[in-house]
Amino acid sequence: MPSKHCYTETEGFYKNPDYVEPNPYGIPDELVEQIKNDTIAQVQEGVINGEM
């Protein structure tokens, strides 16, 4: 599992350029994106229909 920081004797500690912060929900990123997209679509539909 990649860490936020790396260490070498010559450079010491430095930020890992390949590190990606995990999502806080503990579910796959694809599922998070699908939930976001579904929610946006529902809100847009509500606005168009005058429900929001």
- The model's pLDDT over 22-51, given as tens digits with 9 standing for 90+, comes to 888 889 989 999 999 999 999 999 998 888
Q: Which two tokens stand for residue 3?
A: 């860490």
37, two tokens: 């997209």
CA distance 28 to 42: 22
Whether pLDDT at 9 is above 80: yes
Name the band, by pLDDT with cuts 50, 70 and 90, for residue 1.
Answer: low
CB proximity list for 46: less than 8 A, separation 6 or greater: 52
Give the pLDDT confidence score for residue 44 in this predicted structure: 95
CA-wise closest residue to 2 among 48, 12, 15, 13: 15
List CB contacts of 29: < 8 A, sequence separation 6 or more. Answer: 23
Where is pLDDT greater, at 26 or 2? 26
Looking at residue 42, its pLDDT comes to: 95
